Amino acid sequence: MISKEHYFDWAATAPSDEEILRKALDTSIEHWGNPSSIHEAGTDARKALEEARKRTADALEVPADTIYFTSGGTESDHIPLLSLLSRQSKGSIIVSAIEHPAVREMAKMMKNTGWECIFAAPDKNGFVQPESIIENLKSDTAFVAVMAVNNETGAVQPVAKIAEALESACKGKRKPLFHVDCVQAAGKIPLSFLGHKGIDSAAFSAHKIGGPRGIGALYLSRQITPFLRGGGQEKTVRSGTENLFGATALSLCMEKYSVSRKNPAAEKRLQTQVEYTKSFINLLMEIKGCVMIPHSRTASNESPELYSPWVVQASFPGIPGQVMERALSAEGFYISTGSACSSGHHDRPVLDTMGISGAEKESAVRFSFGWDTTYEAMQSLAEHVKKIALQFAH
């Protein structure tokens, strides 16, 4: 079994929380009925499903009737976007240029159905400013998407400010649905922005926070007309027999790891990780040629309001990212060069839109951490990165 001690690819997936998965399995075995059936076995399973829904909602500090269970983060991103296809008239959508492929690539597909797709550029530091959204806003804009935390750079996007800007710009007019991908934010930074009335939907994924693959959640503060139809489960928003095992596991992970005032243990983990990451960045910057991405990120400005301390990207020009990844893997350290969903591709659209140079882009690697990551392990990682960099220098 691969050791978690030197696993630094938590942004791709988190190791399973075994206690939670076992508890969720016991729940699904005990409540084996179809939650949509009206007999006792079904209503028993329905009760357990609604308990999972309430637990998830409580962790996110939102009403239970705003939570819908899905097959994962990608589907939770797709449902609000594809709901546009049920409209008779076409219009425009605005998507930040740093979105995860789940949003970015689906937005491109929307162009084939007659929708205009506008990509809002970030600044050179990877932040999508409200102005970048508002200047692209049109009278027919029906959908806006900006992720909460970028999965490559860790940059925390000002989604609450964007929501306020949209509310102000659309006063007296129909406001576009504002969607936030929270997959890299849940369990990592506070999600208090969810309570902002300008945020209409948000996506979550269980396997990023210790849960199983194949289960996610969608937050919807306003009603949408789903494009995909079926048996009408999840109040018609997401048809298909409900995954009680997955929903239970997701809810327990949300309860355990969500960062909020109600969860002091998670808040303490966050503050501890900030200190670990400050030291890690200092260690990286001691390596000759190391460049942080974005360039403005330093140990002195490390803050969960600006960057997720759980994701760090750096470049070592002269050492291709995949070479660094393989060299570290040979030493028993596991990192990545970016989104696992795009690992088969060599293009880096997020870095392209930030204006990162070709040499830095080619050499960029991502280090991502979790609650089992120790400071000693991060120190050891930095030492091995330095050793590999020195080998290439010679």
With beta carbons less than 8 A apart as the criterion, state whether 158 and 149 touch: no
Q: Is the CB of residue 151 less than 8 Å from the CB of residue 183?
A: yes
Q: Which helix (H) or strand (E) holds 329?
A: helix 321-330
Q: 117, 253, 290, 341: which is the annotated catalytic residue?
A: 341
Q: Is 326 helix (H, G, I), strand (E, B) or coil?
A: helix
Q: Is residue 341 among the annotated active site residues?
A: yes
* Residues 162 and 148 sit within 8 Å (Cβ to Cβ): no
Distance CA 185, CA 195 (A): 15
Integer Cα distance of 184 and 13 in angstroms:
10
Bridge partners, residue 69, by sequence:
217
Element (H, E) at 267: helix 264-285
Q: How far apart are CA 106 and CA 82, in angstroms?
A: 9
Other residues' Cβ atoms within 10 Å of the Cβ of residue 2: 9
Which distant-in-sequence residues (6+ apart) come within 8 Å of 144 by Cβ?
93, 94, 95, 133, 137, 162, 166, 176, 177, 178, 179
- Please state, as a whole number, how many other Cβ atoms lie within 10 Å of the Cβ of residue 393: 12
CB 339 within 8 A of CB 307: no
How deeply is 98 buried, as exposed, middle or buried, from its count of CB atoms within 10 A (0-12, 13-18, 19+)? buried
Q: Known catalytic residues?
A: 341
